[in-house]
Amino acid sequence: MPETIAEVRMLDSSYIREIRSLLYHAYRHEPTFAYLFEADRPGFDQRVRATVRELVNQHFAEDLPAIGLTIDDRLVGVALVAPPQRRLDITESWAWRMRMLLTTGFRCTRRYLDYHAAVLGCLPPGPYHLLPLLGVHPEFQGKHLGEQLLNALHAWCEEDGGSKGLVLDTGNTRYLDFYQRHGYEELGEIALGPIREHVLFHPNPKPENRLAG
C-alpha cells in the first residue's frame, strides 16, 4: 500500500476535542485499557472515554506538548509527550484523581495509578521523555502513519539535550516488532492481570553522532 504523507504539527488546546475523539477510538480496543477499565463490566466505553478526556484535559492544563499528524486539516495521529521534569504531574494532581474517581470509580482509578507507578518503576535513573498516550485513528491505520508519527517524535526529542530518549509502553503484542524495528529496547515487563505490559525505550543519539549526521 502506498505511503500516505501527513503534515506534522505541534498541537495547542484548540485541538482538544479532536484529540480526545481520536485517542478514544485508538484505545477502546487496546488490551491494557480493557484490563484497567474492566471491559467485561457494563459502562466500559464510558470509562475509557472519561479517562481519555481527563488525561487530555489535564495534559493541556499543565501546558505539556502534543505532536499531531494531519491530512487535509483532519487530525489522524497524535502523541501526548511528558518532558522529563514534568512526567509525574498529572497523576499527582488531586483534582485529576477526584475526577477519575467520579467518572471511572475507585477500582479502575487505583488500577490506573498502580499501572502508571509500575511503568515509572521500570525507568533507570536519568531524564527521559514519556509518551502517556499516542495513537493513529483506526480509519487511517495501515498507511505508515505510525512510522511518520514516531519519526517526528524522535526528531523532536533529539532537540532536547537534557533528555536521554523516549519511553512508551504497550500491552499489545502485535506492536512489539514495529517498535523494535524503529530502535526501541525493552526496559521491563509489567503484569497487569492477564496482560503483559512492555516498557520500551528509544535512545536519543549521542552528541557526537548528532554532529556527525
**pLDDT (tens digit, 9 = 90+) per residue, 99-125?**
888 889 999 999 998 998 898 888 877
Check residue 73 and give left, alpha or beta (phi > 0: left; psi -120 to 50: alpha).
left
- Rounded to whole angstroms, the Cα distance separating 208 from 194 reads 43
**pLDDT (tens digit, 9 = 90+) per residue, 46-59?**
999 999 999 999 89
- Rounded to whole angstroms, the Cα distance separating 152 from 77 reads 11
pLDDT in the model for residue 3: 67
Under-70 pLDDT residues of the chain: 1-3, 85-92, 94, 206-213
Asked if the structure places residue 1 within a domain, the reply is no
Asked if the structure places residue 33 within a domain, the reply is yes
Asked if the structure places residue 193 within a domain, the reply is yes
pTM for the model stands at 0.89
Q: What is the CATH number of the domain that holds 168?
A: 3.40.630.30
- Rounded to whole angstroms, the Cα distance separating 85 from 70 reads 28
Total domains present in the chain: 1
pLDDT in the model for residue 124: 78
Of the candidates 69, 89, 73, the residue with the CA atom closest to the CA atom of residue 10: 69
